[in-house]
Amino acid sequence: MADEKDQLTPPAPAPATATPVVAAEAPRTERPERSGGDRGGGGDRGGNRGPRGPRRRPNNDDDGKRDEFTEKTIFINRSSKVVKGGRRFSFSALVVTGDKLGRVGLGLGKGGEVSDAIRKGGENARAHLTSVSLRGPTIPHDVYATFGGAKVLLRPASPGTGLICGKTVRAVVESVGVKDVLSKSLGSKNAANVAKATLGALLQLRRREEIMKTRGLEDRSKQTA
């Protein structure tokens, strides 16, 4: 019986062996070599830099000369106005301008932005430049001036003394070209009044030659020399 069963049942098929599927390799593309000219203007990995670009020119005027005036902002004030939609802010700036050679001007500018107020103040100051009589790096004589509640006293100083004064007075006398001076500010500390009092004091200065000329007299010091 066993032999008959073996004859009737067909032999089991042999297991199929899976053949591994090998993916086709993509063709390699050679990358172009990078040159230093693509970045940084011709530099290579060794640290050598290529030719530099043109240098930037300084911010000069159209005629190629630098601006001879210096501007200093003394103070900035902010004011607000209440409207239906909220508050609207405006700014005012007091600016002093001078060439440090005897000319100085004071201007007040107003605008919706701080930069606009400073720009307008500088333009107003340049439009009101006045000449001041100096004696070298200091002033020729003592002078006292008032504006509103502010009182300013200026005295000449020996070379090397420096500017012995507050920040508001210092901004004005530096712009006009004074390097040695003694000052005292009395009364009100309002920056606008102190600056205007300082400017008024500088405008009162007179040299010896100017006084003798206005009086119609000759300077005796020149005759003796």
- At 5-31, the pLDDT tens digits run 455 555 555 555 555 555 555 556 555
Task: Assess whether pLDDT exceeds 60 at residue 61.
Answer: no
pLDDT value of position 69: 84
The confidence score (pLDDT) of residue 209 equals 84
Helices (H), the chain: 2-8, 114-127, 167-176, 191-203, 208-214, 220-224
Q: What are the angstrom distances between the C-alpha of 30 and each of 26, 37, 139?
A: 12, 20, 80
pLDDT of residue 213: 82
Residue type, 123: E
Q: What percent of the chain has pLDDT over 90?
A: 56
> Where do we find the tokens 């504006």?
147
Kindly list the structural domains of the chain, giving each domain's residue range(s) and its CATH number in brackets, ordered by start.
Answer: 70-131 (3.30.160.20), 143-208 (3.30.230.10)
pTM: 0.65
6 backbone dihedrals φ, ψ, rounded to 5° = -65, -30
